[in-house]
Structure 1
Amino acid sequence: MSIGDDGGYGDDRGSGTGQTRTRLPDGESDTYGTPRRGRSGLSSRNLVTVVGVVVLLIAAIAFANRGDSGNDGTDTGSGGSPKDRAAAQPTAPTGTKPVTGKSAGIATGFPKTEQGAQSAAANYVVALGSSGMFNRDQRHQIVGTVMAPSAVDGLQSELDNAYSPTFFKNAGLKPDGTAPAGMTFVNRTIPVGTKSTAFTPTEATVEVWCTGLLGLAGDGSTKPVTTNWLTFTVKLTWAGGDWKTLSYSQKNGPAPVSGDVPASGAKEIAGAVAGYGGFTYAR
Structure 2
Amino acid sequence: MSPGDEHDYRGMDQGGRTDDPYSTLGGTRQTRTRLPDGDTATPHARRPARSSRSLVTVVGIVVLLIAAIAFANRGGGNSDDEATGNGKKPGAAGPAPTEATGTKPVQGKNGTIASGFAHDEQGAQSAAANYAVALGSAEMFDAEARQGILQATHDPSVVGSLQTDLDRAYSPDFYKNVGLNEDGSTPAGLTFVSRTVPVGTKVIARSADTATVEVWCTGLVGMAGQGSTKPVAETWFTISEKLKWVEGDWKIESSTQAEGPTPVSGDNRASTADDIAGAVEGYGGFTYAR
Same fold (TM over 0.5): yes
In structure 1, the residue matched to 2:121 is 114
Q: Which among 173, 181, 189 is matched to residue 174 of structure 1?
A: 181
CA shift for structure 1 position 85? 2.7
Q: Is the 8 A contact 1:193 1:210 kept in 2?
A: yes
Matching residue's letter, 2:94: R
Cα distance change, pair 102–114 in 1 and its aligned pair in 2 (3 A): same
CA shift for structure 1 position 104? 1.6
Partners of 1:259 and 1:11 in 2: CA distance = 32
Q: 1:114-173 deviations in whole A, cap 9, x for unaligned?
A: 100000000001000000000000000000010011111121112111111111011111
Partners of 1:10 and 1:169 in 2: CA distance = 15
Partners of 2:93 and 2:102 in 1: CA distance = 13
Q: Which among 94, 103, 120 is matched to residue 85 of structure 1?
A: 94
CA shift for structure 1 position 21? 5.6
Q: Which among 194, 197, 215 is matched to residue 190 of structure 1?
A: 197
Aligned with 2:102: secondary structure?
coil
Q: Is the 8 A contact 2:2 2:141 kept in 1?
A: no
CA shift for structure 1 position 10? 5.8
In structure 1, the residue matched to 2:40 is none
Partners of 1:278 and 1:2 in 2: CA distance = 17
Q: Is the 8 A contact 1:188 1:214 kept in 2?
A: yes
Q: Which among 24, 44, 59 is matched to residue 14 of structure 1?
A: 59
Partners of 2:146 and 2:284 in 1: CA distance = 19
Q: Is the 8 A contact 2:116 2:248 kept in 1?
A: yes
In structure 2, the residue matched to 1:99 is 106
In structure 2, the residue matched to 1:277 is 284
Matching residue's letter, 1:85: G
Partners of 2:93 and 2:211 in 1: CA distance = 20
Q: Is the 8 A contact 2:175 2:184 kept in 1?
A: yes
Tell me the TM-score normalised to structure 2 length: 0.72
Partners of 1:275 and 1:248 in 2: CA distance = 31
In structure 1, the residue matched to 2:47 is none
CA shift for structure 1 position 219? 1.3
CA shift for structure 1 position 247? 1.1
Q: 1:16-46 deviations in whole A, cap 9, x for unaligned?
A: 4334469x9xxxxxxxxxxxxxxxxxxxxxx
Q: Which among 190, 202, 208 is matched to residue 201 of structure 1?
A: 208
Q: Is the 8 A contact 1:83 1:94 kept in 2?
A: no
Aligned with 1:85: secondary structure?
coil
Aligned length: 221
Partners of 2:171 and 2:130 in 1: CA distance = 26
Deviating runs (4+, > 3 A) in structure 1?
1-6, 9-13, 19-22
Return 5+ residue gaps in structure 1 as ranges: 25-81
Return 5+ residue gaps in structure 2 as ranges: 4-12, 14-20, 23-32, 37-57, 75-90
In structure 2, the residue matched to 1:67 is none
Partners of 2:144 and 2:92 in 1: CA distance = 41
Tell me the TM-score normalised to structure 1 length: 0.74
Partners of 2:284 and 2:97 in 1: CA distance = 25
CA shift for structure 1 position 83? 9.7
